[in-house]
Structure 1
């Protein structure tokens, strides 16, 4: 009988540049833009929201260029988990890998639950769980077929979101100049009452949190590099274009919303996808006289949550596969079938996601604790990227290499990763300041429990295997790990 833990297939490098570009972009466009952008304006005013999203966008750009430098040099499915293992400390790679897998495995139920809520807009008498389970089955099928099916699905879902934002910007500008919707509104809302900055620095910091969650998912491009046809070219192109698109779609969209709706508009406080009529996008479209706006935006948000769930299943499956290949998980999860799918990692992740989804029927408190445990995982992953890149570049130069040997150079080193590291720490620490002020220990536990869970993983591995920070001159710069390897394209 064949050992099922040994692969009879291999990961397929079939993702094209257009797939990676849309995956990177699609990771930034979702409910964070369509829904939460309104609350950001309400909290910090138009100027404060623009500053917060601008700073966070710059940080994400630095992070993505850091990831891009490593991913073009060593495009592995394990991505930042593998880089942390090689460039920092195996304990960090172990903890980051499980942290990221857990993050997406637990977030998938949130996305499919949201899909059920969105579908209830059209079919209110049908139980939401039917739609949620249907979406779960759909994303499983997409990921089961091939990596190409995942890439194509994400390409078209992202394209729908991109077209929506572009149409919104055109309509919004037309309203601002009075071409649609009546009289020109101009920039009057930027000096209305306390605008443009409302609540000062604390309000801007609180919007950092919203912006940070909005941008999470951009790091997916690092994981897809392990299955990219031409990673040295496509990863760099995808990352280079992400920054400008973030500026266009987020900054310009928030500017348009702020011009049309004053920060005091109560509708901006809405963050509930079940009330799509209160989305700032919907309100702007309605003001332009587009009666179908609510249904159209509901459909777009449905594509956004399906895309998020689909990407979440892909990312968590690949991370579990990588953990197994590195010896951090059961070997069977490292098995790849003949179509290039880590099938047992896919099944294992799906079982965990279904179990997490089921907890909401057992008791909402257990479900909330699960979601709370994953709340900071994305920011912890970003910390890992910043630390890994700083160490990679230092080790690369320390060992006598030249920057000209790298196909892609991160922008602004060492400022970039240091700035990203510092801002991530600020966001993590400021996640729920109100709970500390009120000494609400239950909320503190729910909000910050991801940190002790990560530290438990880190110190468990570190103590058990007696790992240590790898000296720069001992860092392994070969393009391989225990379970993966890469041959440069020009070899």
Structure 2
């Protein structure tokens, strides 16, 4: 049994600044506990979500080899968004990242709204990933029920985040490392099989001919590229986490610049490279892709033994990584909102280890509640939560774009030397990215399938409108209070 210290030590809580949360870790109460190797692996692994392993099969089935263009389009969009975010984060590292920049560039209503929407997105993701991990673990050890595994996974990773930011970084280093090694190994082994030089390969038909030999490169027509975009876009969510984590490193500016500059090869290698290997090893319409999953089917095709078990381990690792980083991200966003007086002040307090304990506990409590909804009402309440968070990723990217348009001028006025990362072809490429994201949101409205894009956009817009309304009302009440206080003087 652990004993509590007689008087908990908390960091000083100076009056929060309503317009900025760009303090160093020491100023904010956080600790610079993340090492360079942690941040490097978080940056690399952040773009490899479980969606890549389990969701790519549906994209290949829908678009054929043309799914490569879908991944390339979304990848380019993510590269541009990360470049914009990197420009702002390198100049002003912040635990609130894009929420803090939106607060300053667009107004308090924007920082409040996107911060809470992002927090909501991640607590729902916690429930999704905890359930996904529990399904895999129950298959290995059925003596423990699925809900029990979900509880165990959530408790363990909550303890990890509560221990210290260094323990979060260490867990994420190994989780991300396994994902990276798995993808790199898949690309190397699969690439050798595609080139016909893999010893013992059972797939003599593998090769680049599969890109066109089953109905052409676009067997379902050019419109399938856009369908593929809708299926793969959300697997890229999480690449922005490194800009939040950098605020708890020894050299945030250097960490952000390094992560931003490497995002191109990360997207190119891990997404485009691995999917290219899959569609070269098998015809896109091979039934095994839909039945087993794209990576398992590809490994089976070249005679790799126990491919399914291997990929289950990798997927579980990706799920645990997403849970670990999702809880971290949600708690740091809540912490930043507390620093800016947009959340309860307790969220902005840190313990003696520099951990925002209340922010972590509140985030995980909502995650537990969402897990409960998933088991009790999976087709009603939980589906509503899932759909209402479906388009938030795109809202976040839009806010990053609009914030960068204004923050560039603010940075140049205040300290031009901080502009160590610059968005290319500013402002034209920024506006082009805004147009593409808006188009994707509009195209989602054409998907009227059950729980499809239209439902996600409409429910996400409804949720966003409610949060923005709350933000505007708070701002109005706050300004009225200040006006009354001024008149009393």
Query: TM over 0.5: same fold?
Result: yes
Shift of the alpha carbon at 1:446? 5.2
- Tell me which residue corresponds to 1:363: 377
Find the partner of 1:458 among 457, 463, 468.
468
- What's the TM-score, normalizing by structure 2? 0.87
Q: Does 1:334 align with 2:348?
A: yes
Aligned length: 454
Q: Does 1:416 align with 2:429?
A: yes
Query: Residues 446, 390 of structure 1: CA spacing in aligned structure 2 closer, same or farther, 3 A cutoff?
Result: closer
Which whole-Å CA distance do the structure 2 matches of 1:303 and 1:2 have between them?
35
Local SS of the residue matching 2:447 = helix
- Contact 2:64 / 2:284 at 8 angstroms: preserved in 1? yes
- Contact 2:81 / 2:400 at 8 angstroms: preserved in 1? yes
- Contact 2:444 / 2:454 at 8 angstroms: preserved in 1? no
- Tell me which residue corresponds to 1:45: 64
The superposition leaves residues 44-89 of structure 1 with CA deviations (integer Å, 9 ceiling, x where unpaired) of 121x211111111111111111111111110010111110011112
Q: CA RMSD in A?
A: 2.4
Q: Does 1:319 align with 2:333?
A: yes
Query: Residues 342, 330 of structure 1: CA spacing in aligned structure 2 closer, same or farther, 3 A cutoff?
Result: same
Which whole-Å CA distance do the structure 2 matches of 1:15 and 1:400 have between them?
28
Query: Residues 2, 293 of structure 1: CA spacing in aligned structure 2 closer, same or farther, 3 A cutoff?
Result: closer
Which whole-Å CA distance do the structure 2 matches of 1:401 and 1:353 have between them?
40
- Tell me which residue corresponds to 1:208: 229
- Contact 1:17 / 1:235 at 8 angstroms: preserved in 2? no
- Tell me which residue corresponds to 2:49: 30
Local SS of the residue matching 2:140 = coil
- Tell me which residue corresponds to 1:68: 86
Tell me, which stretches of 5 or more residues in structure 2 are unaligned?
1-6, 15-27, 478-489
Shift of the alpha carbon at 1:182? 4.3
Tell me, which stretches of 5 or more residues in structure 1 are unaligned?
271-277, 468-491
Q: Does 1:287 align with 2:287?
A: no
Which whole-Å CA distance do the structure 1 matches of 2:315 and 2:393 have between them?
21
Shift of the alpha carbon at 1:213? 0.8
Shift of the alpha carbon at 1:288? 2.4
Shift of the alpha carbon at 1:445? 4.3
Report 1:435-450 matches (<5 A).
435=448, 444-445=454-455, 448-450=458-460
Larger displacement relative to structure 2 (352-361 or 142-151) = 352-361
The superposition leaves residues 436-485 of structure 1 with CA deviations (integer Å, 9 ceiling, x where unpaired) of xx7x7998445531112112222332244249xxxxxxxxxxxxxxxxxx
Which whole-Å CA distance do the structure 1 matches of 2:229 and 2:87 have between them?
25
Find the partner of 1:243 among 225, 239, 264.
264
- Tell me which residue corresponds to 2:99: 81
Find the partner of 2:39 among 2, 20, 38.
20
Shift of the alpha carbon at 1:186? 1.9
- What's the TM-score, normalizing by structure 1? 0.87
The superposition leaves residues 32-52 of structure 1 with CA deviations (integer Å, 9 ceiling, x where unpaired) of 221222222221121x21111
- Contact 2:127 / 2:371 at 8 angstroms: preserved in 1? yes
Find the partner of 1:98 among 99, 116, 119.
116
Which whole-Å CA distance do the structure 1 matches of 2:139 and 2:32 have between them?
40
Which whole-Å CA distance do the structure 2 matches of 1:119 and 1:448 have between them?
35
Local SS of the residue matching 1:282 = helix
- Contact 1:189 / 1:262 at 8 angstroms: preserved in 2? yes
